[in-house]
Amino acid sequence: MPDFCIDLRSDTVTKPTPGMREAMARAEVGDDMSGEDPTVNRLEALCCEILGKEAAVFACSGTQSNQMGIRAHCLPGDELLIDVTGHIANFEAGGPAVLSGVSCRTLQGTNGILDVTDLEGKIRADNQHLCRTQLICVENTTNTGGGRVYPIENLERIGTWARQHGLKVHMDGARLFNAVVASGRSPAEICAHVDTVSVCFSKGLGCPMGSILVGSKDEIYRARRARKQFGGALRQAGIVAAAALYALEHNVNRLQEDHENARAFAAAIEDIEGIHVQAPETNLVFFDIDRELGNASQLSAKLKEHGVRINPAGPQRMRACTHLDVNRIDVLRAADILAECVRSGFAHLAGASTGPYARG
């Protein structure tokens, strides 16, 4: 085993920096369940301002804030519409069904992105036999859809269409700030077309935990009750909210660097025989492996032996993720190691041809 590890499995592997830890140690705190944690209150107010919504509630994780959003919009027996690759439908352990009695109707979009043409005809009639179509979920940036930025025109069309038909729209913005940096649009501009938005602080923003859900006062009132029911209401949560405030100040603009490193990595592997890489839009690089070479789990195992961690994202697909704990030298070195692993072969290694595939 080499004495180094270039970890491209996820932007969730980042560790809080000394500056972030210092901000956490200094945080003013109170009992958040009584609304008395000044740092949480400051974070919630700032997120309302940045994302352009009336109200906000801090949550433990992106999964939790998504599920709070679903509960805020839906009743048991409702269904939500979501792209087939959606995190909410695939990687939240059946949360909508378990926590809110909501079924997910998955639709085939393009690279995880929906448009009105995908949604048309999917609202069920008001009829005792049918579930009530209530919510549309969009993911920005898409995760397993390819790390893509939702075109603002799609969001505008979906938002308008949803309002016309009495549906709500929730944006799973776990990587919203990657979309902000990649598109050059403001967060408020992107969020204007949807009702609620969740953002994850523990992805590219580098926090140990934490998420925010924003929306209208009524929606967030209901979401706050859901947070309590889901066991996510906290006491001196200012310690973690301080990390989020620090991240919003220091770690947003630098996401650009992650995107550049993703492009550099993609460019460095595109000529490897048997590897087919998609041009990345953000910090996620997806590439497919020719079957003759072996499968993604086998390549992942081989890379691990050589000090590079990249997770399979499908039987023949890998997902490499850049983040604040890897730099340009690291990703280029990882690309060299990948080339060498492919050249020397990996089909002999143990590696299941089925999941679990990349989630975070």
Residue with Cβ nearer ligand PLP (51 or 200): 200
3-class SS letters over the chain = CCCCCEECCCHHHCCCCHHHHHHHHHCCCCCHHHCCCHHHHHHHHHHHHHHCCCEEEEECCHHHHHHHHHHHHCCCCEEEEEECCCHHHHCCCCHHHHHHCCEEEEECCECCECCHHHHCCCCCCCCCCCCEEEEEEEECCCCCCCCCCCCHHHHHHHHHHHHHCCCEEEEEECCHHHHHHHHCCCHHHHHCCCCEEEEECCCCCCCCCCEEEEECHHHHHHHHHHHHHCCCCCCCCHHHHHHHHHHHHHCCCCHHHHHHHHHHHHHHHCCCCCEEECCCCCCEEEEEECHHHCCHHHHHHHHHHCCEECEECCCCEEEEECCCCCCHHHHHHHHHHHHHHHHHCCCCCCCCCCCCCCCC
Q: Which listed range, 19-27, 56-64, 100-108, 290-298, lies at the site for ligand PLP (CB under 6 A)?
A: 56-64
Binders of ligand PLP in range 199-228 (CB under 6 A): 200, 202-203, 211
Residue with Cβ nearer ligand PLP (93 or 130): 93
Residue with Cβ nearer ligand PLP (203 or 302): 203
Using alpha carbons only, what angle is made at residue 75 by residues 69 and 80, rounded to the nearest 5 degrees? 60
Residue with Cβ nearer ligand PLP (230 or 346): 230
Separation between Cα atoms, residue 1 and residue 60, nearest integer Å: 35
Q: Which listed range, 198-206, 267-275, 330-338, 340-348, lies at the site for ligand PLP (CB under 6 A)?
A: 198-206
Q: C-beta of 126: minimal distance to ligand PLP in Å?
A: 31
Q: Considering the rule CB under 6 A, would residue 62 count as an interface residue with ligand PLP?
A: yes
Please select the residue that binds ligand PLP; options are 51, 174, 182, 342, rule is CB under 6 A: 174
Q: Considering the rule CB under 6 A, would residue 140 count as an interface residue with ligand PLP?
A: no
Q: Encoding tokens for residue 263?
A: 């492009």
Query: Please, is 253 exposed, middle or buried when counting C-beta atoms within 10 Å of its C-beta (0-12, 13-18, 19+)?
Result: exposed
Separation between Cα atoms, residue 8 and residue 319, nearest integer Å: 8
Closest CA to 134 of 96, 174, 93: 96
Q: C-beta of 13: minimal distance to ligand PLP in Å?
A: 12
Q: C-beta of 62: minimal distance to ligand PLP in Å?
A: 2
Q: C-beta of 327: minimal distance to ligand PLP in Å?
A: 23
Q: C-beta of 2: minimal distance to ligand PLP in Å?
A: 28
Please select the residue that binds ligand PLP; options are 6, 14, 29, 61, rule is CB under 6 A: 61
Q: C-beta of 102: minimal distance to ligand PLP in Å?
A: 16
Please select the residue that binds ligand PLP; options are 32, 78, 172, 281, rule is CB under 6 A: 172
Residue with Cβ nearer ligand PLP (62 or 146): 62
Residue of minimal Cβ distance to ligand PLP: 62
Q: Which listed range, 22-30, 58-66, 245-253, 312-320, lies at the site for ligand PLP (CB under 6 A)?
A: 58-66
What is the per-residue binding string for ligand PLP in 69-108, x denoting contact by CB under 6 A? ------------------x---------------------
Q: Tell me the site size for ligand PLP, rule CB under 6 A.
A: 14
Separation between Cα atoms, residue 334 and residue 7, nearest integer Å: 9
Q: Which listed range, 57-65, 120-128, 302-310, 322-330, lies at the site for ligand PLP (CB under 6 A)?
A: 57-65
Residue with Cβ nearer ligand PLP (43 or 268): 43
Q: C-beta of 11: minimal distance to ligand PLP in Å?
A: 9
Query: Contact residues for ligand PLP (CB under 6 A)?
Result: 61-63, 66, 87, 139, 143, 172, 174, 200, 202-203, 211, 360
